[in-house]
Each structure stands twice: as structure tokens, then as C-alpha cells.
Structure 1
Amino acid sequence: MKRIKCLFILLCALGTSVLSNAQEHVWKTETANGYTYKYVTNDPMQARFYTLKNGLTVILSPTPKEPRIQAFIAVKAGSKTDPSTNTGLAHYLEHMMFKGTDKFGSLDYAKEKPELDKIDALYEVFNKTKDEAKRKAVYHQIDSISGVASKYSIANEYDKMMSSMGAQGTNAFTSFEETVYTDDIPTNSLDKYLAVQAERFRNPVLRIFHTELEAVYEEKNRNLDNDGAQAFETLLANLFVNHNYGKQTTIGTVEDLKNPSLVEIRKYYNNYYVPNNMGLILSGDFNPDEIIKKIDQDFSYLKNKEITPYQFVQETPITKPIIKEVVGPNAEKVMIGYRLPNNKNKDILIAELVGDILSNGKAGLLDLNLVKKQKLLWASVSVLPLIDYGVFTVSGAPTSGQTLEEVKTLIFQQMELLKSGNFDQELLTSIINNRKKAEIMQSERYGERADILMEAFTDELDWQTQVAATDALSKITKQQVVDFANKYFADNYVAVYKRKGESPETAKIVKPVITPVETNTDKQSAFVKMTDEMPSKEVKPVFLNYDKDIQRAKICGAEVLYVQNKDNQLYRLRYRYKIGKNNDLKQDLAAKYLQFLGTNKKSSEDISKEFYEIASSFNIMTAEDFTMVTIEGLQENFDKAVKLYEDLVVNAVPNEEALIALKARLTKSRTDMKNNKGAILQGLISYSSYGKDNKFNYNFSDEALNKVTAKELLETIKKLNSYDQTIIYYGPERLTALISKLKKFHAIPKKFATPPTAKVFTQIMTEKPQVLFADYDMVQAETQWTRNSGIYDAKNQPLITVFNNYFGGGMGTIVNQTIRESKALAYSTYALYVSPRKKDDHYFVTAYVGSQSDKFADATKAMNELLTDLPKFPENLSLAKVQVKKDIENERIMQDDIIFDYLAARDLGTNKDIREDIYNQAGNLEFSQLNDFYKKNISGKPYTYSVVASEKNLTEADLKKLGDYKKLHLKEIFGY
């Protein structure tokens, strides 16, 4: 399911004050190359809006910085329009749209179709059968005939086609009101992309269905293991008792997933996948006058069809608080939700502004009064404007010793300040300034441009008002904000307490007996051969030359690395110090402490407000071996921002109360980490690589944390600038002017201090199979294979890159096709040979399967087979080599990424762009070289299995079958 949208520029007309301003952003019409389009004047996205004769919407936003295009095909149909008898249908149709048509995904459709028709009919019988024994018999028939049908199918042929043309990010998502198919393609593959998509939506064939449905089951189980998702679904269910926003979830019910109907899926496709309900959105390097004609030619076959609008009963007003609870192993939090009008209502724009007044991450009421003062662990606001209703959600998490009821009370106190108008007028201006900066940042990247345009299309919003949003926001008065708050925020809310505890029993999807299906991974349809042979313009790779692409200077002994921003007025300045967590654990703690300190003249809250007022920010990040300060904003405010940060560091004063509160919050945060299954798995993996004293559990003990003093931390802060440092700048300022300013603002010592000796962690070799296990209340089992391998050698990189693309690094690889597509054992799986960050470190092998617990034995067996014998598929190897070369041909490393690419190369002992060797050698690699590499580094080696699962579902005996068993307790994993 798609992320919850934080729509940056949603609005509609607010009256004459906005309309008078709208003269700057008006709709106009032009005709070029025989096609008429609309556009909005002064649109930073330069978007063109076409409507083809069949009703298909085409939105084009050209930007030539990179030879790539973000492409979306959006259908305005999601879980809202799922039939009540088949919830989750839109979502699993999304999955099936990757299976091909009668022209691709099949070796012989004439022979395949009769078998698929039998499966269709059997599912209808299966759904009507209630007796479990009879259901098993019918499913056995489905499984058997699916095996016959699979002999004619080609799994993942769509993914392979996209990979062969250099596409990245091939995926899809389903949400409340949309299903969107996404690809990031090279410009020279656009003709191929259009041909493939036109065919894909012509006649999708619902093949390889029962194994794909297992992947959806796994996705459902992941959702059941996600307390946050459960809390949000509970919130919606109580806000919307009549509307499908609350009555249905995107992924559907267990019961409906267990009883799918291919007939209903096809009916849904025929009803909603029609051109007048679809949009093709492209942003990137192309000529719109040329592209629109090609789109029209390829998609003109689609036939317009009337769409029946979704009908619903209006929700009755909530007149008193509705309190609900969700119990699960994750950390506690409270979510408070209010119902808003639909996204066309004039109040939605004010809702966006109100959200920023409460929480903008820097200077909102919740930010300053609760988080900055450390009264809560965290607090946030989200505004979700949808077509029929909106949702305004305020969330918060307790610090040590707090109840969720106390969290709710603190949040409501801030909302009362809002309702009484007790906030600075200047905050409104600051919000507008920060949104203007965000607009510049969004327009920089073709992917973000396409994303914003796609969301406007699926949300049925007028782009004119989108473009004019910030101007419209600037005209909203403080009184309008106060009126809005009093209108919508009363006792009309739903509060969900997400408490910590054992998850209640839920309906589980039991693993059916599935015979592995054929994937024909080395076969190819005639359609794929045809698209491969389509001509495309050659694109030559652009490699970095660090000596030319980066300007360098010195300030005293500090290295300066500089890349100029020639596009806009944004800058990013970084101080990268050669001291990190491994040198001194207090380094990271001091960086956190600084957020809550002021000077003799300014409080911490004052400093946050000043940064926000000038649309700037600073952040300190501590890594293992370096600490980095980042200051960013608009160049016109460079001097103010840098001086503001430097003044804080030099003149910070200790604050004992802040330290006590910080320790309490850290204690709570550390406890919460122990309740996070992802963090637990990372801890196990680190333990497997380094042993009981490892990078993950190198932390303060509880006792040591409590002993740290404010004086120690302040000394750590003030000493930071005494260490060796690299200054990194990306922005419009000329290098000479930058050096002149930094000499004034940033005092660099004549001689750098020597940092404390860094703690060294030595990677260990796995001598025999072993299992590291952590018990966690969950439906799934998460399993990670690891073993350390040889020392880094740059000469291996071409081979490793091709190997990963062939073996287990993507949807079309051997691992995914075997474990997910053929055997239906997991939703997510991969296997990689991972390169280290530094030249003296080891490579490591890692593999992963997330599966239902009752599939654990089969899933681990399947992965172990792949880690023992390397399947040979020449077509897949050819594809892997092509994909590696195309990725490099169309990649452009830009902005300050150039500097970070150089620093990464330097850490690996080279001063050249390693991609050049990969590109030049990838095409010449043979399977024998991959196999030799595999035998030397992967095959038959002992692995450590890191497993996070529930002891209720996996026994010690199950795990001991894999190797020597060790159950780790949380203190061993986390170090506290």
C-alpha cells in the first residue's frame, strides 16, 4: 500500500482574495504538432495536460538534467471501489498486472488459455464450497492444473523487459482511490516503454495466480505484524463507519483473500481500467511535441467507457470522543484523528497550514512546546485530503514514565493554544518561506515532479490551484486559522491508544500445499524479442573525473570540496569531522544534547525559530568514524544560518534539566528499540558478523548513560571543531567568496587535536552453521543468512555487480523467481554479495526470506539449495549484463552526490570512478566466471542464520536443524 500522502500543495479556491491573485497562474491552451494541450502560466513544473480522443489523460513535464524519465500509469480505482464481497481486489489485480498478456509472459497462449479457463472455473467452485475437505480437494485441482498451465508461462517477463531497457524502480502501489504503475526509464527507451505499456493494458492475462496470491497473503501477514498499520486502520474504521475508507482496507480481509475470484478481478479491470479513468504521467528528458504523438498512436486502441461513481452514505457527525485500543509488541503511541471535508473544500488549504503550525519539524507548537522541551518522545501531524473526506491526525509517543492519556492531554493543551490564537503571527510567514524552499527542491528532481503531478491527477485536483498554492496560503489570516481550529477540533475525534502487549489472536492464513510451478526463466516470447530489436538512440555513459568535477581549496589545514549549484539558490554546507561514535560514545549523545541548548542570549526555542524563519536548518549526524554537521537553506540566508550555528556551538550553556529530560527520552527510545523487530534483526546480523561485542551493541549501558554529565557533553560539543575536518559545499556561491566567508565565520585551529583511539571491531569467519534466534510476538518469521568473505579488491567489482543482478538482487533474478514466483514461499526475498565501505574490510554474503512461520522449513531449504548450486540460465546472464551497462549509461551523479561519491571511492583506496571498470568489463563476463566466483565465496559455505520469530510458531527443535542454536536476549543484542 502506498505511503500516507502529505500533500504539499493541495488547495482549492478560497474566495475573491485568492482568485484575484490567480491571474499569475491561469490556464492557457496551445496547439503543437497537431495536439492541443492546456498549461498553467508560471508553472515551475512546465506541465502540459493533454486529453486524447478516447479520454486518456497525458501529463508531460520535461526537464533535461538527466537522460531518464519517471513514468506513472495511474488508474483512479483503489480499495474504495473494491466490491464488499471481494475486499483487496484492486490490490491483487495490481499484482496480476505484472503477469503479461496473450503476447508476452507466455510461450504458447493457445495451449495455456484452456488451462487458465479451468482454473477460473475452479476458483468459482472453491469460493462457493464451505466444507474444508472439499475445499482442499478443489484446491488440489487448482494446484495441479496451475502446474500444467505454468509449462506455457514465463514468470517475470515484464520485469525482465523493463530491466533490459534499463528501467529502475519497476513497481506499483494501491491506495484508497488509485492504483499506480511506476517505472523509471532511460530516455532512449521511451519508445520501447510505450510499446510495452500499450500491450500490458490491452489484454492482461491472470496467469500464475495461486502462487502470486500467496505473495499477497505474505503481504497481509506483514500488515498484521505492523502495529502502526493496525492502529491507523482502527482510526479509519471509527472515523468512517459508512464509507469504504473505514469499512475496507486496501489489502483486504483474510476471509476474502482466502476466497478470490478471477471472474471478479476481470470484471473490476473491465470497469475501471478504461482510458477516461487513467492517466499517463511522464517527467524527464524528452520533447513533449514528439512524445504525445507516439503516446496517441500506441494507446488509441483503448475504448472510452462510462464509470459508475462510488456511492456512499454520508457520515453522521461525531458528537463525543471515540476511544479505541490496539495491543501489540511495538512501542506505545496515541493517534488522534478528526474527520475533514473532501479535498475540494475551501477549508482543506487551511488544514495544511494548521498542520504546519502544530508541527513542521522545527518550530510548530508541538515541536517547540513538547518535543523541544522534551515533554514527549515525539509528536507529529499528518493531513490526508481524499476525494470524499479528509483526515487530520495528531500523534505522539510517551517519554519515560508517561501514560498515553498524559500524552493526549499534552497534545490537547497545544491544540487549545491554537484554538485561542496563542501562537506567533510570524510563524505563518515562516511556514510560507519554508514551503517556497521546498517547492524549489521538489522541482529539481524529475521523479518528484512526476509524483506531484500524478497525485494531483488521482486526487482530481485542478493544477492551476496547485501551482498557486503557496500564494494562496500566504493570504490566510491568523483569524481564519483560529476559526478553522474551533470549527473542526472539539470532542468530535477518534483516539487510538497503541499499547504494548501480546497481540490478540488473529485469523491466520494457513499455508496451502503448493507444487512449485514452472518459471521458464530462460525462455523468451516473440513480443520481447520484438521490443528488444526496436531501435534506440545510443547514450554514452558519463563518468566522474574527481579532479575536474570537484574544486578544492584549503582553509588552514581543513580540506574544502566544492561543487557549484548552477540551477537555483539552494546551498548545503557540511563540516565532516574525523571523529565518530567508535572514538567516543559521547559524540553522538553530545550532538543530541546540542538540540536542546541555548546561549546566554538565546534559548533553544529561539534558535529553532530563527532557523525556521530564514527557511534554514542545521543537523548533526554521528557515524562510526566521522561526525557531520549539515547547514542548508537559501544562499541569501547563508551568512545568518552559519553564524547562528557557529554562535550556538561556541556559546552554548549547559542545561541540567534538558540533560535529565534527554536521558529519560533516550531511555524510553532505547526501550522502544527493543520492541522493534527490524532493529532486533539488525542486532542479530551484527552479532553474526562481529561476535558478542559488535557495532550494533556498542552503546552506553544504562548505568554509564546516567553517569554522563552536562559538563562532559558541553566539552565534547566545544571540542568538535578542533578535529581534522573536510568542508563540503554545494551551492551558488563562488569558491573564492565561500572561502572568504568561512574564514570569518568558521574558526579552524592551526593544529588539529588528536581524537581518542577508535574501538576496532573485527569481522569473524563462520566456521560452522549456527542459528541466532530472538523471540518476538509476530505472525511471520524473518530469516537472514550471513557470512563474511574476502578483503575488498576493486578488481572484483564488475563481476560482483553482474553476479548480484543475475542471482538475487531484483524481481527478475534467480532467487526471487525460485522462492517467490515458483514456490510461493515469501513476499520478500533476496541474496547479495555485499561490498564493504572501506578497503581493509571484508565483503559479506547476505540472503533474506520473510515468510509465514509455517513456511519456514521450506523457505530455508529453498534458499540453502540456491546457496549450494548456482542455476545456469544464459538468457538471464545476458539480461544482467545488459542491465548493468544500461544503468551506468543513464546514470548521472550530480550536485553534492559527486563529492560523496568521491569520498566513498577514497575510502576504498581509489581516486577514480569505479563505474568505468564495471561498464567496460561487464559485457565480457561469462557464466564460468560467475560460477567460479560462486563456488569460491558462496557455495557450500557455513552460514549464520539470524531468525526473528515467535516461539509459539517456531520451536528450538525446528531451528537446531539448521545449525548450532543460540537464543539471544535483548541485552546481548542491544548492549543495554
Structure 2
Amino acid sequence: MIKKSLQFLLLFLVVNLFAQSKFEWKTATDGGYTYKYVSNDPMKARFYKLKNGLTVILSPTPKDPRIQAYVAVKAGSKTDPATNTGLAHYLEHMLFKGTDKYGTLDWVKEKPQLDKIDALYETYNQTTDEAKRKAIYHKIDSVSGVASKFAIANEYDKLMSSMGAQGTNAFTSFEETVYTDDVPSSSIDKYITVQAERFRNPVLRLFHTELEAVYEEKNRGLDSDSRQVFETLFANLFKKHNYGKQTTIGTIHDLKNPSLIKIRNYFNTYYVPNNMGIIMSGDFNPNEVIAKIDASFKNMVAKPVPKYTFEQESPIKTPIIKEIVGPDAESLTMGFRLPGNKDKDVLIADLVGQVLTNGKAGLLDLNLVKKQKLLSAYAFTYTLIDHGVLYLQASPTTGQSLDEVKTLLLGQIENLKKGDFDESLITSIVNNIKKDKIYESETYGSRANSLMSAFTSELNWRDQVAYVNDLSKITKADVVNFANKYLGNNYVAVLKRKGEKQNREKVEKPAITAVETNPDKQSPFVKMVDDMPNNPSAPVFLDYNKDLQKSNLGAAEVLYVPNKDNSIFRLSYRYKVGTLNDLKESLAAGYIQFLGTDKMSAEQISKEFYKIACSFNISTGEEYTTVSIEGLQDNFDKAVSLYENIINNIKPDDAALKSLIARIQKSRKDRKLSKGAIMQGLTNYAIYGADNKFNYTLSDKDLDATTSQELVDRLKNLNNFEQTIIYYGPKPLNELVSSLKTEHKVPAAYTMGSPKKEFKQIKPATNQVLFANYDMVQAETRWIRNTDTYNPEKTTLIDVFNNYFGGGMGSIVFQTIRESKALAYSTYGYYVSPQKKDQDYYLLGYVGSQADKFNEATDAMNELLNTLPNLEGNLILAKNQVKKDIQTERITQDGIIYNYLRAKELGLNEDIRKKVYNEVDDVKMADLDKFHDEYFKGKPYTYAIVASDKKVSMEQLKKLGDVKVLTLEEIFGY
């Protein structure tokens, strides 16, 4: 009775909170512009429609002197021509190449060469004879080399870097192509000027090298089992719609036969103001910004945009079962077709996804994961404009077949259809979404992202603001009716099996001559933008004596920062014991989620936390084990009391431990099938040698010998280790300490402690090659070299060097290896700083290339490691980027505490950014040359390489150094 009263009270509070507010579209005029807004919108978003149809959405928030900006186009792979799939995606790539005003040294001389390339591609696409095609492509390559002499590669990226932008990128999906930048507020005039020019008349220069980067991206997708599963699922769910008929990146045939004319036609058709939106959130005056956008974009002309039309899909009457074979671990993916995002049932569909999985108390969470019947399982609703999907995925545990996994998932669907779940779960979901909405409105980045997603998905923002209110009106009967209406035998299941891929496609390497990038040149337009006046923000440095407060609770230090913005709290107990002290500490941290007390089962514990919109988690790192409790401050005392009750009264469960160990052993086997994990292991091997942090783990024998009681003892003994208490929330410090005194009993002196295993970084005298064989199209190579012990005096130089050398798209590494030589989609190189004062720096370089480019790619990186190009303009950009990042960075909330703790690990007693800011202007090219000579040039490296031994030969590897082919057991330690 008490529980039911609490549930109704929570529901009343949530519904009443939103019922007090009406969510209506309203109109207002300010600064000479009329806009719409939704009443009681926490993001205070303004929706403008300019005369040419351009949508502008502005959400001002003054916390950080930065702006997250998106230029979004409502066109993606759904609207690709059937004869030119992937077009929207590679057009996205080309929007970084400039116009007739920037990206060019001499447009008058460049244009005739680009016209020749246009014509050559049209001839190339109409030619079927391979010998003739090869000859035409040779001409394309030749003319491209001439045209590149007039081009300035990466001038957009450099331009954005010069104004202090971060996260400059773009992405393409089914219905959208979105260009993203995070810029300082002081650079808003520059940003708007650049974007207006960028979309005025883009020039498709340096096309064949950029298309080669898209080829590389395609090959990465062909190497990805998860990508193949996703595409197979959608191809079988949507046989009459481009969601399934086409992929975003396109077919190999279409990628090999691009038409620049059709790319321009696509731009002219869809990149029109009435089909575009500019979305911004951050520190700005909306009246000023809308006037500037209007003035800059007013010359764009509206045009009718063709509407995508499609046939309705035929009903799926019996399950469609497909198989994918590849090197990754086995898994099952299922999809049920749902209506598009305008349908009245979509809100219920969202709730259905949460009822199945919410990470804590969903049907899959409690009945399958919590009970350890599967290694993992989750579900979510993936809703697009025209159709939606209930997407489920699960991984088998030891000895399970994928058919058994499917049966378990379908069993939970049946529970949903029968209503076999607690009605209070809906109330709990609403409470937790309410909390998520608070998080969503906290930062300018998340605000802008939510507004952008709503725009490209053509959602009514009023419905998004009223989302929690509307969701709270849904009943259990609504959920059950929905499940019975849409979730029958009408699903597609993709069984991902382990094995060698057959009939593997591959985009073959064309003959490409490196193009000119003219990295030391600058167009008049860029100089004009650089010269535009701006008033940069003053940096704000932390003062550890003022920006966080300290207290004590028993022997524990309490570190405190108040939350003055909302009702969220985050509390952590940080214990000084980690895996380097005790490998079983991590096992105990994972074990607790499956344990109950004498009064509550593990499932009941999850439900109780979820009901009060709070959560707890225990995680173990190398040196610390952290208990994290977070949620709504109103429920702080309940959450802390609930956790303390659990930790003090947990009971050993032999059956749960047996299942956990079986699942761990299965996940360890699966991990050995992941190329990402293999590369991580190779990297650790290169840094520390055969005995390293990656393979320092419990053996299967140790796992099997572990008892329930010893793990429970570890959990109950946590409080006897040295600890720090970290709090960010609304409660005053004195009240926090007083409240915790009652529940969290910290001893007057700590009685537990254990020695820490040490790992020393190694420094081989000669080049070494660590190789792991993997069934893949690409070859992934890392360069690793340990150098000196941490020295804070080098921080400024290292920050500048990383920006200059290989830390971004405007860097030397990226410009040379990707832009000029078209050898990789992804490449970087930087000097990694340690996390502790007694650790060493190390170099980390990377190139992911086609296997048939392996030699050229490694040669290109080695050339840069031995010879540093001197580009004074790039150095100015690198220093400017470092400086502007510091000017606009605001470390807030519990980030202040964690920054302080990291500084302590490095032996620092003040914010290191202050030193960097004061020194950065004094860094000279001679300093970079000296640094490069001392730590890079002519030095021995360890190459960590993951590739197929059928595509990269031993002879190729031996040219790099002494080769050691590592087994998975050597890499993983089991």
C-alpha cells in the first residue's frame, strides 16, 4: 500500500508539474523580426522564417562563451538518385573544398581545368571498356594535378581553426546532411560570413582525392560486421523505400562512377533556403544574430523542393531470417516495422522501447540481463519520417545458439503483449525522462543538437516541449494494445555468425598522383575574414582554493561544488583501491548488480532506484574504485539510504556468480574477435612490453576459483579504504556533511590498503613490428614510441605541436596523407601526455588505409616523422587554436573537482592552462623543429599493425622492423 501511494505521488508530481504549464505556439516580435516560440520551453528557442524560406532556430544560453552551430539540409541518402547512390554523402565531403572566393589561388586559371575534369568524368562514366576507363582516369589524375596548383586544400578547416572553432565536421544520414561547428561567441560575425559564402557556390575541387577518402570510408564499412547487419536489416524491412533500397555511403559501382554534373544538380535542387535550417545555441543576443544571418543569407533564392514519394510496404506475414558472416562475435539483431514519426502511435512506440529497455528496469534489463540469461540485450525505437523500427539486439552467453537468443527476445515481446509488467514502470519511465530533459537543457551543445534533430526530422517543437506531459498520459493498456497491433510474426532477424567473409567486395585502389595542397597560401577572402574585428573572451582559470569547497567526514575529504542551475545531484565515493591493487576488485564491482539483500532481490533494487529517478553504479579503474549515485535532489536521501542499505546487507549468491563468470568468459572470447580490442592490446604491448596493463587480468582458473563470499567481503570492506567524497548538487555543504554522517559511516582511520602493481614503459633501441592477423579489407597501423617523464614546463610546446602536426583536419599529417596523397580516410599523430607525474610521454600515430596502400601509407607517415614541414602560417593557426580554446573553455560543475584531482596526480597545485595561455605566443617554429628532432626524427618506433596476412605480407612488415606476430593469448592474457 505504501509503495502504491508513493507511485501515485510521483506520477502526480510529474503530471502536475507539467499540467501547470501550457505548451502552445506563440508569436512575438523583437528587434524588428517576428518569431515563434513554445510557451514554457526550457530552451527558450526562437523559430524564425526568413523571407526566402530559410529557417533559423536560436536558443540563447550564457553559461559558456561559445556557440554550437548547425547548418542542416533536409536531404540525405533517401533522396539520392537511384543511379548515383552515395551522392548526398560525397557532396557533404565537397562542401569543405571552398568556393570561387576561397580554397583557390586563381579562380580564373583553376576553372578551365575543373571544367575539363567534369567532362572527363562524364566520358569515364559512359565508358565500359576497362582499358579505356583506365586511360581516361589517368587523364583525370593528370588534369587534377594541374588544377591543384591553383587550389588551397583545407582552407575551410584552417579558417574555422583561426576563429577558434572546435568539432568542425559534417554527417549524412537518411533524411539529413548537417554541417557542424562549435565557435567562440566573439567569432559569430566571422562564422556567419563564412557559412553564407560556403553555401553560395561550392566548387568541386580536389575531387578525385576526396572521392578516394570516401572509398576508404566504404572499405571501413565493408570491414564492419555491425554496418553489414544494419544494412541487411533495413534492406529486408524496407524493400520499396530508400531506407532499405539504398545505403548512405552508396554502392561500389556508383562510387566508381561519379558525375560532378549530377552532384551540382543535387546541390541546386536541395540546398535551397526553404529546405535548410541554421540552428544555434550558446552565448549570443538573438536579435543581433538573426539580423546578421538575414543580411548574409538573403541572396539565397527559394525553389520548389521535390517531395520524396514511395510505395507502401507489403506486410511481413512470416519472419524473415537472414545471416551475416564475419570475424566479429556472434549476435542477433531484430526489427519490427513501425509507422513514421507523424503517426499518432509514435509516442507509444517511444514508451514501448523504454518498457523493453531503459538500462535499469525494462523487461530485457530485468528478465534477461539481470538474470544473466544473455550476455547483453537492448531495444529502442528508431523513428524516421516515413517509417520506424523497433530495433532489438542481443548477444549470446556461453553455449547459447542464436535461435535460443531469438526465443528469449520474443518471450519478452510476448510479456509486453500480455501486459506482464508492473504498471508503475510507466510512471518510473516518465520520471527518468523528466530527469533526462533537465540534462538535455543544461548545455548549449545538447540544446542545439535537440533542436537540429527536430528540424531535420520535421517534428513539431511544441510536441517535444510537451513530451513528458504527453507521455505521462499513456496507460498500460495503450502499451499492450500497441504491442499486439505491431509486434507479431512480422519481424526481420539478422543472425550475425562468426566466420570468414565470402565474396568480399572491395573498392580497388586507383592510380593517384599526389596533388598540391599549397598549405602556405591564403586566399583574399580568408584574409578578409581573419581581419574582421572581434572581441575575444577573457580566459577564466580555476582557483582551486576558491572554486571548490572542502570539508571532512570522518577520515574522508569532501570535495564540493554547488549546483545553482537545477535539481540534479551527483555524489561519488572514490576509494583508493583498483585493479592494480587487486584484480578481483573489478569483478566484485560487476557482481553487485546481480545481488540482493535479505529484504530485496536484485530486480527489486533496480526497480526501487528507477522509481525515484536515481541510479547507482560501482566501477573500478587502475587505482580507484568509484561508487556513483545520481538523480533528482528531492530523492537524495532516499537514494543514499537505499545504496547504504544494499552495500551493508548484500548477500552472496553462488548461482549469480557462476552465471557471471560464464558471461565474463564468453565476453572475453568475444573481445578477442574485435579488431578494436586487438589494436588496443597491441598498443599496450608496444608501450609496456609483454607484461602490460591490457593483459594483466584474471586467468580462467582464477575466475573459476573465486567465491561469492570473498567478492561480497571486498564490497563491504570498501569503506575501510582511503576515500574522497565528491558532490555536485543543490544541497549546501554543511547540510550534505550532516546528511551523510547519518548514512555513510566513514571510519576515523582507514584499516585497508594493498600494494600496487607497477608497469614500466619500455624503450626499444630498434624498430619493432607487432602484428595481429585479422580478416579485413583495410590495414590499421599505429606508431608508438615512449619518451621522457612528465614535465609541466613542456605543456605549452606540446599543445602547439599537436595542433600543428597531427591533431586535426588542418594539421600536417591530415593534409599530407589524406588530402594530398589520398592514402587514408582516418589519420593522426600526436604526443600523448601522461596522467601521472611519474609516467612517460609517448608518440601515437595512426593510418587506416586499404591494404594495397599499406606501403605508401607507412612511408608517408615515416616521412613526416623524420622531416617536419615548416609552414609559418600553420604555426600561427596552431597557436591561435590553443589560445582561443583556453579563452572560451569554462570548467564548471563537478568538472572543477575532477580537474583538481587530475592536477594533483600530475603534481600541480594550480590550473596549468594559465601557464599555457601566457606562454603560447612565444612558441617559434625553431621550437617545433627542435622538439621534432629530439623526439621524432630518426628514432626507433614500434609499429602496431592489425591486418589480414593475406593482404599484407611478411616481406612488407620486415621492411619496417623486427617482426613479432602475436597470438591472441599473448595480446589478451587469456
Contact 2:957 2:963 in 1 (8 A): yes
How do 1:382-401 and structure 2 match up within 5 A?
382-401=380-399
CA distance in 1, matches of 2:676, 2:497: 19
Contact 2:222 2:506 in 1 (8 A): no
Contact 1:22 1:468 in 2 (8 A): no
**Which residue in 1 is equivalent to 2:62?**
64
**Which residue in 1 is equivalent to 2:891?**
893
| Structure 1 position 705, deviation (Å) | 1.1
Contact 2:85 2:251 in 1 (8 A): yes
The question of 1:710 aligning with 2:708 is answered yes
Q: Secondary structure at the match of 1:491?
A: coil
| Structure 1 position 154, deviation (Å) | 0.4
Q: Secondary structure at the match of 1:383?
A: strand
| Structure 1 position 617, deviation (Å) | 0.4
How do 1:28-67 and structure 2 match up within 5 A?
28-67=26-65
**Which residue in 1 is equivalent to 2:956?**
958
How do 1:559-638 and structure 2 match up within 5 A?
559-638=557-636
Q: Secondary structure at the match of 2:917?
A: helix
Q: Secondary structure at the match of 2:414?
A: helix
Which amino acid in 1 is paired with 2:184? P
| Structure 1 position 878, deviation (Å) | 0.6
Deviations 1:188-215 (A, max 9, x none): 0000000000000000000000000010
Contact 2:26 2:39 in 1 (8 A): yes
CA distance in 1, matches of 2:702, 2:628: 29
**Which residue in 2 is equivalent to 1:169?**
167
Which amino acid in 2 is paired with 1:509? V
For 2:153, which of 152, 155, 173 is the aligned residue?
155
CA distance in 2, matches of 1:483, 1:79: 34
Contact 2:61 2:444 in 1 (8 A): yes
Contact 2:354 2:380 in 1 (8 A): no
Which amino acid in 1 is paired with 2:521? K
Contact 2:538 2:887 in 1 (8 A): yes
For 2:500, which of 502, 527, 550 is the aligned residue?
502
CA distance in 2, matches of 1:504, 1:349: 42
Which amino acid in 2 is paired with 1:973? I
The question of 1:874 aligning with 2:883 is answered no
| Structure 1 position 385, deviation (Å) | 1.0
CA distance in 1, matches of 2:290, 2:84: 37
For 2:336, which of 338, 361, 366 is the aligned residue?
338
How do 1:465-544 and structure 2 match up within 5 A?
465-544=463-542
CA distance in 2, matches of 1:754, 1:794: 33
| Structure 1 position 537, deviation (Å) | 1.5
**Which residue in 1 is equivalent to 2:859?**
861
Q: Secondary structure at the match of 1:871?
A: coil
Q: Secondary structure at the match of 1:902?
A: helix
How do 1:215-226 and structure 2 match up within 5 A?
215-226=213-224
How do 1:416-435 and structure 2 match up within 5 A?
416-435=414-433
How do 1:183-194 and structure 2 match up within 5 A?
183-194=181-192
Contact 1:827 1:850 in 2 (8 A): yes
The question of 1:374 aligning with 2:375 is answered no
How do 1:663-674 and structure 2 match up within 5 A?
663-674=661-672
**Which residue in 2 is equivalent to 1:826?**
824
For 2:403, which of 402, 405, 408 is the aligned residue?
405
Deviations 1:809-868 (A, max 9, x none): 000000000000000000000000110000010000110000000000000000000000
CA distance in 2, matches of 1:145, 1:764: 48
| Structure 1 position 554, deviation (Å) | 1.1
CA distance in 1, matches of 2:145, 2:545: 58
**Which residue in 2 is equivalent to 1:760?**
758
Structure 1 stretches of at least 4 aligned residues deviating more than 3 Å after TM superposition: 20-23
Question: Identity, % of aligned pairs?
Answer: 64
Q: Secondary structure at the match of 1:885?
A: helix
**Which residue in 1 is equivalent to 2:210?**
212
Which amino acid in 1 is paired with 2:529? T
The question of 1:288 aligning with 2:290 is answered no
Q: Secondary structure at the match of 1:319?
A: coil
Which amino acid in 2 is paired with 1:634? L
Q: Secondary structure at the match of 1:24?
A: coil
For 2:75, which of 74, 77, 82 is the aligned residue?
77
Q: Secondary structure at the match of 2:194?
A: helix
Question: Would you say how many aligned residue pairs link Structure 1 and Structure 2?
Answer: 959
**Which residue in 2 is equivalent to 1:9?**
none
Which amino acid in 1 is paired with 2:932? Y
Q: 1:602 to 1:330 in 2, by over 3 A?
A: same
For 2:805, which of 800, 804, 807 is the aligned residue?
807
**Which residue in 2 is equivalent to 1:14?**
none
Contact 1:789 1:843 in 2 (8 A): yes
CA distance in 1, matches of 2:502, 2:262: 32
Contact 1:99 1:205 in 2 (8 A): yes
CA distance in 2, matches of 1:504, 1:763: 41
Which amino acid in 2 is paired with 1:765? K
**Which residue in 2 is equivalent to 1:6?**
none
**Which residue in 1 is equivalent to 2:447?**
449
Which amino acid in 2 is paired with 1:241? K
Which consecutive unaligned segments of at least 5 residues does structure 1 have? 1-16
The question of 1:180 aligning with 2:170 is answered no
| Structure 1 position 505, deviation (Å) | 2.2
**Which residue in 2 is equivalent to 1:137?**
135
**Which residue in 1 is equivalent to 2:23?**
25
Q: Secondary structure at the match of 1:547?
A: coil
| Structure 1 position 766, deviation (Å) | 2.0
| Structure 1 position 23, deviation (Å) | 7.3
Q: Secondary structure at the match of 1:923?
A: helix
Contact 2:536 2:887 in 1 (8 A): no
| Structure 1 position 750, deviation (Å) | 1.7
The question of 1:199 aligning with 2:197 is answered yes
**Which residue in 2 is equivalent to 1:5?**
none
How do 1:927-946 and structure 2 match up within 5 A?
927-946=925-944
Which consecutive unaligned segments of at least 5 residues does structure 2 have? 1-14
Deviations 1:503-526 (A, max 9, x none): 122221111111100000011000
Contact 1:80 1:244 in 2 (8 A): yes
CA distance in 2, matches of 1:736, 1:615: 25
**Which residue in 1 is equivalent to 2:972?**
974
**Which residue in 1 is equivalent to 2:434?**
436
| Structure 1 position 22, deviation (Å) | 11
Q: Secondary structure at the match of 2:911?
A: coil
Q: Note the aligned Cα RMSD (angstroms).
A: 1.1
**Which residue in 2 is equivalent to 1:13?**
none
CA distance in 2, matches of 1:140, 1:885: 44
**Which residue in 2 is equivalent to 1:653?**
651
Deviations 1:540-583 (A, max 9, x none): 10000011001001112111110000000100000111110000
Q: Secondary structure at the match of 1:882?
A: helix
For normalisation by structure 2, the TM-score amounts to 0.98
Which amino acid in 1 is paired with 2:352? V
CA distance in 1, matches of 2:310, 2:563: 51
**Which residue in 2 is equivalent to 1:228?**
226
Deviations 1:15-69 (A, max 9, x none): xx99x96970000001111111000000011000000000000000011100000
Q: Secondary structure at the match of 1:588?
A: helix
Which amino acid in 2 is paired with 1:613? K
**Which residue in 1 is equivalent to 2:722?**
724
Which amino acid in 2 is paired with 1:881? K
| Structure 1 position 290, deviation (Å) | 1.2
Which amino acid in 1 is paired with 2:845? A
CA distance in 2, matches of 1:59, 1:630: 36
CA distance in 2, matches of 1:584, 1:423: 40
**Which residue in 2 is equivalent to 1:118?**
116
